[in-house]
Amino acid sequence: MTPRAILIGPPGAGKSTIGRRVAQALDVPLLDTDAEIERTTGRTIPEIFTEDGEPEFRRIEEQVVADALASHHGVVSLGGGAILSERTRERLVGCTVVYLEISVAEGLRRTGTNTTRPLLNGGDPAQKYRDLMRRRRPLYRKSATIRVRTDGRSPGRVVQQVLAKLDSAQEDSNNMTSEENRSSTP
């Protein structure tokens, strides 16, 4: 059984916030892979980056994401960089994947004063966010089955949009299944 929905997108897009509220609305549990990494390792994400470096963080993340996709039936929020892993992208094929889109300007506003995101710390955060988006945008788009814009929309509005698109994706898939059943009936 695959998760009902998997949320992807860059830092600040709202994967944790929107994930929590979508899960509540669907009455299913939320699994946030960032929180799960911290729970299973007993360390914070900045500690893992500082002590062991990004490649080790990505290795742990890939495993936590694989376990979540294989066993969680609710909503899964992925860390912003999880889609950098080709194996993770392969595992997402066939799943309902919601890309929370956000502009660089709004992403920077939402992550601005927070220092718990190691990849945006130090140097010029705007330049870092732009570089990160240039590399990742095609990967988010390719992995997504649903896209929802979040700029200028309250969390409540984004949640409504996500739920509406999940509903219509479910309807499409039901219609497809009944067409397949009809055409396979002798």
Ligand X SMILES: Nc1ncnc2c1ncn2[C@@H]1O[C@H](COP(=O)(O)OP(=O)(O)OP(=O)(O)O)[C@@H](O)[C@H]1O
Ligand Y SMILES: O=C(O)C1=C[C@@H](O)[C@@H](O)[C@H](O)C1
Residues binding ligand Y (CB under 6 A):
11, 34, 45, 79-81, 117-119
* Rg of the chain, C-alpha, whole Å: 17
* CB nearer to ligand X: pick between 105 and 176: 105
Least separation in angstroms between residue 28's CB and ligand X is 18
**Residue 79 annotated as binding?**
no
Distance of CA 100 to the CA centre of its chain: 8
| CB-nearer residue toward ligand X: 164 or 176 | 164
Give the span between the Cα atoms of 74 and 22, in whole angstroms: 10
- 16 binds Mg ion per the rule CB under 5 A: yes
Binder of ligand X out of 110, 128, 136, 149 (CB under 6 A): 110
- Cβ distance to ligand X smaller for residue 58 or 153: 153
Q: How many CB atoms lie within 10 A of CB 48?
A: 19
Distance between CA atoms of residues 176 and 154, nearest Å? 33
149 assigned ligand-binding residue = no
Which region, judged by CB under 6 A, interacts with ligand X, from 13-21, 54-62, 136-144, 165-173? 13-21
Separation of CA 12 from chain center: 11
Count Cα atoms within 13 angstroms, Cβ side, for 2.
9
Would you say the C-alpha torsion 43, 46, 50, 55 has a positive or negative sign? positive
Q: Among the candidate windows 16-24, 39-47, 101-109, 118-126, which touches Mg ion by CB under 5 A?
A: 16-24
To Mg ion, the closest distance from the beta carbon of 34 in angstroms equals: 5
Identity at 59, one-letter amino acid code: R
CB of 35 to ligand X, least distance (A): 9
Q: Does 107 bind ligand X (CB under 6 A)?
A: no
Q: Are strands 5-8 and 30-32 parallel, antiparallel or unpaired?
A: unpaired
The footprint of ligand X on residues 36-75 (CB under 6 A) is none
- Residues forming the site for Mg ion (CB under 5 A): 15-16
